[in-house]
Chains A and B, each alone.
Chain A
Amino acid sequence: MERMYIFKRFERFWHWSQAALIMFLMLTGFEVHGSYTFFGFQQAVAYHTIAAWTLVGLWVFAVFWHLTTGEWKQYIPTMDKVVAMFRYYLTGIFTNAPHPFKQTRLKKHNPLQRLAYLFVLLVINPLIWTTGWFYLFYNSWKDWGVDWLNIEYVALFHVIAAFMMLIFFIAHVYLATAGHTPTAHIKAMITGWEETD
């Protein structure tokens, strides 16, 4: 059994606060959307707005951290072993086959993870952020000279991004149990130390 310090303190803090915020944003966002009633529309809007601002603040720091530490390189996509990873999740994982990817501090994420996170970083987040931002400042569109924008489409893309986030979230939470033991990855994200075979 090996132990390796993978996730630094800021990274873990960032991960869990982002996780809490995104869950809360999904909870409140889909209520605003009208999918159910939980807090009541007014509270849902207020909470969603506050959480959204907090998340935006968090992202600013995360982006800064990634750029200054060079950690952004963790998301450079590779097709290497992608097929092997698929095969592993489809069959190998059931038969205790060896994991095709060897985690290191320079390569924390397996190639599928890299692709998935890159998609989140480059597609889902910017989409949710920009649409959310415009949504928030709907009443300033005229002053900004962007009143050619259509709130219907801004909201539509915000909702589409929210669904993508929801699906990502489901897959992500499940795959967090796909480590060496079901809780290995989760522990790693709490303590920073990953156990491997």
Chain B
Amino acid sequence: MNTPRMKVRHALILIGCLLVTTSASAIVADAQPKADGAAITAQPGSATTTPVVTLANEKTTVAVSSEAYTKPKAKKPSTADHSKFSELDKDFKTGPEVTKACLECHTEAAKQVHNTKHWTWEYLNPVTKQKLGKKSIINNFCTAVTSNQTFCSACHVGYGWSDDSFDFTSEANVDCIACHDTTGSYKKIPGLSGHPNYEKMEWPPHSGKFREAVDLKKIAQNIGKTSRQTCGACHFYGGGGNAVKHGDLDSSLTNPKRYLDVHMESDGLNFTCGDCHVSDSHEVSGSRYAPTATDDEGALIRGKRNGRNPTTCVACHGNTPHPGNTTITAKLNAHTDKLACQTCHIPEFARGALATKMSWDWSTAGKLDEKGQRIIEKASNGRVSYDSKKGHFTYDRYVIPEYVWFNGNVKYTLFGEKVEGDKVNINTFLGSADDPDSRIWPVKVFRGKQPYDVGNETLAVFHTAGKDDSAFWGNYDWDKALEWGMREAGMKYSGEKKFVETEMSWPITHMVAPKEDAMRCEQCHTENGRLQAIDGIYMPGRNNTPLVDKIGFTLALLALLGVLIHGGIRYLMSKRG
């Protein structure tokens, strides 16, 4: 697009065609200098003098531009050196012992954590009134937490959640370290109900490798702020492994280069997760259960929160984020009425070279080899394509998102809800072109096949992991796993299952590319472009008027033919004299 030769060509054509016009403009400028100047640069959104737009322009000055802010590298951000505290100079035996020490000074911390999703794994959607959260929902990865807590709670900010008897009021059971470790040596092990290994143990299982016992004293004395590592320890590994679940969150974000994430670039702005996901009393802002799809209110002035989500792009960049007032930047700013920033600025996900899981077919799980042993197959990209425990997978990287109208409301198909047919949308992003609160959003759509209880007409919960004779991982018996899982979830398994196709959407919002890698206009403004499937809006360049084009070009061609024939005859006749 921008080779020098093309630039020259553009310039020549422009000069040629506009030579005459420049003189025109000169005359225009002479006669009417102001009107002309305004005319040439004025654009939708900037030329109007209505208060709304003026306000929006003011907001631009508040909003940060990408160059404006370079975060100084913090040396010692804290005023307290925890290694000097006698309370922490102890040989802690367990996590809860450390927590008790923390709470001696941070008296309110555990109570605060008790109110957060990180602790409750519950979320009540205020709009749909649906009870969501990891505790309740079914997804199409490992499907459900219920009956599998000993494993899933490796990502719970608590100690000891192995079944329904867990005491959610216990302060000592809050895990401070999971988020505040700075040593990188803390690891909660699946199967230990949220605890790290206090003794040396083999990990991963049957690998022949061993993990040393966790050094809680060292960790406690080096406690500090959350970081990309601490958040990433869970959020990069969702769905059972690195990069598996989200597609826009994986360990490549621990030390990203600029092309991968313009905010987190470790040699650049070096944002932590918490720089956007600002916390208040341990409640971390920003949630995919009720994302903010649209924010028309401009950049947030520091300190002024008034209930708005500080984690959005708009919260810093405002609603007219493209600086300058050229034809193009004005046009780009005008696009914010229909597009989420993410749509142009995250052109692909899984850009950190790690592939993300794109589909998961549970229906083929449980096949064993002749010796009755677990089978694991790998695809050419090195990632597992079949595992007896889990079925078939596909992985992909540099993935082009799908696009949907989204107003921030997500409707889930919950456990126990009666659903029919062979296809179930685990969640549905609500929104439409006519809804002023909707924007076009990029999503990762994860497709799967998973068990469904035919008698109860609901997505099924099954017992995956555990040291018993029913866990699917180890026994490979669907009926037993379903029996146990459904019972734990409060329902009696009907005894008949089938596998239904499921779809689940994930908003794409991380891995923001630098501006030079943002989408180009023609990636959407073309036939069969990125937004071909988006309905309800007019987009020039998308082959909008095929009939008019056919008629128009036919008539133009006929006119051309007509004059050529006419001219030909004239020429021949004049030759004859």
Contacts and interface: CB of A to CB of B under 8 A. Distances in A.
B24 interface: yes
B538 interface: yes
A139 B44 contact: yes
Interface core residue of B10, B42, B538 (most chain A CB under 10 Å):
B538
Contacts of A41: 520-522, 525-526, 541
Interface stretch (B46-54, B296-304, B457-465, B474-482): B46-54
Interface string A90-101: 000111100000
Main secondary structure of the interface of B (DSSP, over half): helix
Contacts of B127: none
A143 B52 contact: yes
Contacts, number: 161
B375 interface: no
A171 interface: yes
Chain B contact-residue range equals 35 or more
A138 B238 CA distance: 43
A112 to B, nearest CB: 14
B27 interface: yes
Contacts of A171: 559, 563
A56 interface: yes
Chain A contact-residue range equals 35 or more
A33 B540 contact: yes
A140 B18 contact: no
B527 A139 contact: no
A65 to B, nearest CB: 11
A43 interface: yes
A43 B10 contact: yes
Interface string A150-181: 01100110011011001100110010011000
Contacts of A17: 20-21, 23-24
Contact of A151 (B16, B538, B542, B560): B538
Contact of B567 (A33, A46, A159, A174): A174
Contacts of A58: 21, 24, 28
B398 to A, nearest CB: 23
B68 interface: no
B80 interface: no
A123 interface: no
A166 B103 CA distance: 79
Contacts of A20: 16-21
B503 interface: no
A160 B52 contact: no
A96 B16 CA distance: 37
Given A34-B540, A45-B521, A170-B559, A159 B21 contact: no
Interface string A125-149: 0000000000011111001100000
B39 A56 contact: yes
Contacts of B566: 89, 174
A54 interface: yes
B337 A139 contact: yes
Contacts of B279: none
A24 interface: yes
Contact of A155 (B28, B43, B544): B544
A63 to B, nearest CB: 13
B543 interface: yes
A136 B327 contact: no
A35 interface: yes
Contacts of B521: 40-42, 45
Interface of A: 13, 16-17, 20-21, 23-24, 32-35, 37, 39-43, 45-47, 49-51, 53-54, 56-58, 61, 89, 93-96, 136-140, 143-144, 151-152, 155-156, 159-160, 162-163, 166-167, 170-171, 174, 177-178
